[in-house]
Amino acid sequence: MANDKSSMQLVANGILKENPIFRLALSMCPAVGISTTVMNGFMLGIAVLFVQVFSSLTISMVKNLIHPRIRIPTYTLTIATWVTVIDMVLAAYLPEAYAKMGIFVKLIVAFAIITMRLEMFACKEPVGASFWDGLGMGLGFMIGMMTIGLVRELLGSGAILGYDVLGFKPLLFFILPSAGFFVVGLMMAFFNSIEIYYKRKKGFKS
């Protein structure tokens, strides 16, 4: 069990070992759909982080009161409540960013990663550990989104966070919506190749 892990290990686990986007390949829709800039990725990452942490906390607190047979509907409703909260907060305080993300903020309710963490982790572990796990998963998602956004923004419009870095536009193709599939696919292949390289190296040593 994860009880013996420290809080930092739990966070690192979410960011690296079980990164929601690159390792678990869950919640791909926003990764492809709105990762055109770093800022978009960051904003949606914040929203997901918020929902993940608070629903993990809520479920972890009331885990002994939930009847096992209705646990999935309970998770769904808990997530829906927190999504409503972040949806209204964003709409009120950051209307521009909210308009860019469109329907995806409301769709956080259907992201598989959140339900999965509640089912796998928060309903068994104590409140503290659930908080750190939720934080790690949320951060992992945010970093994944921002990495994709970085690649697409840099290659598509030659800028980072809206500032012109390269001075020219290398491949306008990457800013097109359909390029999201290619970028995610190529990045996954890149990480795979690193993994294969290290495994082969290890194999030769031993």
Partner 1 sequence: MNLARIHLILIVALLCAVFAGPAHAADLISKQSFGEKNEIILKFSVEVDKIKAAKISTYTVFEEQDPDIRLELASATPNYKGTGVSLRFKEPLNTAHTHVVTVKNLAGVDKASTKVSKSYLGYLFSIFISALLINNFVFTKYLGLCVFFGTSKRKSTAKGMGVVFTMVMVVSASMSWFFYNFILIPYNLNFLQIVVFIGLVSLTVQAVDTILRKVNPILFNSFGVYLVLVIANCVIIAVPLMLANNNYNYFETFMLALGAGGGFLLALYLMSSVSERMQLANIPPTFKGLPIAFIVAGQFAMAFLGFSGLQIF
Residue 172 found at the interface with partner 1 (CB under 8 A) = no
11-30 residues near partner 1, rule: CB under 8 A: 25-30
Residue 192 found at the interface with partner 1 (CB under 8 A) = yes
Q: In angstroms, rounded to a whole number, what is the distance separating the alpha carbons of residues 96 and 101?
A: 9
Residue 179 found at the interface with partner 1 (CB under 8 A) = yes
Residue 171 found at the interface with partner 1 (CB under 8 A) = no
Q: In angstroms, rounded to a whole number, what is the distance separating the alpha carbons of residues 20 and 177?
A: 21
Compute how many residues bind partner 1; rule: CB under 8 A: 42
78-87: b (≥16 Cβ within 10 Å) or e: bbbebbeebb
Burial group, residue 148, by CB count within 10 angstroms (0-12, 13-18, 19+): buried
Distance in Å, CB of 74 to partner 1, minimum: 11
Residue 111 found at the interface with partner 1 (CB under 8 A) = yes
- Within 13 Å of residue 120, how many CA atoms lie on the same side as its CB? 11
Single out the residue of 6, 8, 62, 84 in contact with partner 1 (rule: CB under 8 A).
84
Residue closer to partner 1 by CB (options 167, 203) is 203
Residue 80 found at the interface with partner 1 (CB under 8 A) = yes
Residue 43 found at the interface with partner 1 (CB under 8 A) = no
- Of the candidates 113, 86, 91, which has an alpha carbon nearest to the alpha carbon of residue 21? 113
Distance in Å, CB of 20 to partner 1, minimum: 11
